[in-house]
């Protein structure tokens, strides 16, 4: 094994620098993986465009091969389909929670983002608690490599991983994160069987706002759950084509080539004039949320996963949009290893679902900068690095 790891470090706004970071010493409770594939997430693109809080290695949609395990790692690392050994490939849950705070005790260990000290791989972790921070992703502190845009990545104790079978390509395994996020958003719209507010059943129309990877996965999962009709509002003819082909979307409309009135008509004409039962907003734009609320029918449900990043105040008429509509609005931020495991189960059926259709480009650490710069191209859905 080399004694350094090549890594793409974000050092400034829209600036990656290739660096050789030290290979960390593996402590008894951790392990080291050699990254095989890492997918590029929308949040990587967002970080790239902004000033980094400190130089860090981004990338959290990771599949890699275990090259070294601490002597206690089988006990401290949670492995679905384990036990783990050196040489196994794993895909990685992106967050590590403290397991001890009131939120971890209340909601369970591993509930990503609820724990105030959720560490995120490939992100900027700022410790809120007392004493020494238990985790870091500063590239100048051990364990140096805690993001996937690097040849090696350190795995902390209390991380959840999935042992990847030989039949699953690493790039497919790296999709566990974005697929799980979309899956969780759709899950939030599910209700107890038969209740009045049930908006996700064989009579329902699900409207997906957004034709990015999360929107395509959300549409795919809604279709899989058996709703009658899946509609999509997107911004690219190419991606709307992938929505039909991969996600099974019945009809889509391009927001750049239509007026608001035409989109209202698009939804109303397909829902008996009532609107969509479920709306999942996967666009990082408050206007999309606003429009989605208009497309939601009375007694409908709307889930927002898109507005996770930028603050975005929006006009909301409590009487019209909420109370008179008997509407349910949900935000999606928290997720769990159990949700990821459902995603993993779907990835195991790649032969049936063809998840490769989501990928639009293969990159290297050297070409990653260009990939992040061109991520808004209408022909781009999701890129990955194969090492
Ligand atoms: Zn992601
Ligand atoms: Zn906690």
For residue 257, the CA-to-ligand 1 centroid distance in Å is 29
Would you list the DSSP string of 18-47?
Answer: EEEEEPPPPPTT-EEEEEEEEEPPHHHHHH
Q: What's the whole-number average pLDDT of the chain?
A: 96
- Residue 103 Cα to ligand 2 midpoint, Å, equals 6
Residue 150 has pLDDT above 90, yes or no: yes
C-beta of residue 280 within 8 angstroms of C-beta of residue 206? yes
Q: What homologous superfamily is domain 4-174+354-386 in, according to CATH?
A: Medium-chain alcohol dehydrogenases, catalytic domain (3.90.180.10)
Distance 49 CA to ligand 2 centre (A): 29
Domain map (residue ranges) of the chain:
4-174+354-386, 183-331
Phi, psi of 340 (to 5 degrees): -60, -35
3-class SS letters over 262-321: HHHHHHHHCCCCCCEEEEEECCCCHHHHHHHHHHEEEEEEEEECCCCCCCCCCCCCHHHH
Q: What is the mean pLDDT of residues 90-115?
A: 94
Q: How far apart are the first and last CA of the chain?
A: 15
- pTM, two decimals, is 0.97
Size of the chain in residues = 387
CB 332 within 8 A of CB 184: yes
Provide the pLDDT for residue 248: 98
Q: Which residues surround ligand 1, an ion (CB under 5 A)?
A: 41, 177
Q: How far is the CA of 129 from the centre of ligand 2 (A)?
A: 10
Q: Which fold has domain 183-331?
A: Rossmann fold (3.40.50)
* pLDDT of 359 strictly over 90: yes
Band the pLDDT of 310: cuts 50, 70, 90.
Answer: confident
């Amino acid at each position: 094994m080399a004694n350094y790891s090549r890594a793409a470090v974000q050092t400034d706004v829209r600036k990656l620098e290739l660096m050789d970071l030290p290979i960390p010493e593996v402590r008894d409770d951790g392990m080291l993986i050699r990254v095989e594939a890492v997918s590029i997430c929308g949040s990587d693109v967002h970080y790239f465009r902004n000033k980094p809080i400190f130089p860090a290695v981004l990338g959290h949609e990771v599949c890699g091969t275990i090259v070294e395990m601490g002597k206690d790692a089988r006990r401290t690392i949670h492995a679905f389909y384990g036990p783990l050994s050196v040489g196994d490939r794993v895909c990685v849950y992106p967050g590590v929670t403290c397991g001890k705070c009131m939120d971890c005790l209340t909601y369970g260990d591993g509930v990503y983002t609820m724990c105030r000290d959720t560490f995120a791989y490939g992100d900027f972790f700022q410790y809120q608690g007392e004493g020494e921070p238990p985790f870091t992703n500063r590239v100048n502190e051990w364990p140096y490599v805690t993001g996937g845009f690097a040849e090696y990545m350190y795995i902390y104790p209390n991380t959840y991983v999935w042992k990847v079978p030989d039949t699953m390509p690493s790039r497919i395994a790296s999709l566990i994160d974005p697929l799980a996020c979309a899956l969780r958003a759709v899950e939030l719209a599910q209700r107890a069987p038969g209740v009045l507010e049930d908006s996700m059943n064989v009579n329902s129309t699900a409207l997906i706002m957004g034709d990015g990877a999360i929107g395509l996965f959300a549409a795919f999962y809604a279709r899989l759950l058996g709703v009658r009709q899946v509609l999509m509002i997107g911004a690219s003819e190419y991606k709307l084509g992938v929505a039909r082909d991969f996600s099974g979307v019945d009809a889509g409309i391009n927001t750049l080539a239509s007026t608001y009135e035409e989109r209202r008509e698009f939804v109303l004409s397909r829902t008996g004039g009532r609107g969509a039962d479920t709306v999942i907003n996967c666009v990082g734009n408050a206007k999309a949320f606003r429009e989605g609320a208009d497309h939601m029918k009375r007694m409908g449900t709307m889930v927002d996963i898109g507005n996770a990043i930028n603050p975005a105040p929006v006009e909301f008429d409590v009487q019209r949009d909420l109370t008179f509509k008997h509407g349910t609005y949900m935000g999606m931020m928290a997720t769990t290893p159990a949700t990821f495991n459902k995603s993993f189960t779907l990835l195991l059926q790649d032969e049936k679902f063809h998840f490769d259709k989501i990928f639009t480009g293969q990159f290297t650490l050297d070409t990653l900068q260009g990939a992040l710069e061109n991520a808004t191209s209408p022909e781009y859905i999701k890129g990955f690095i194969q090492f």
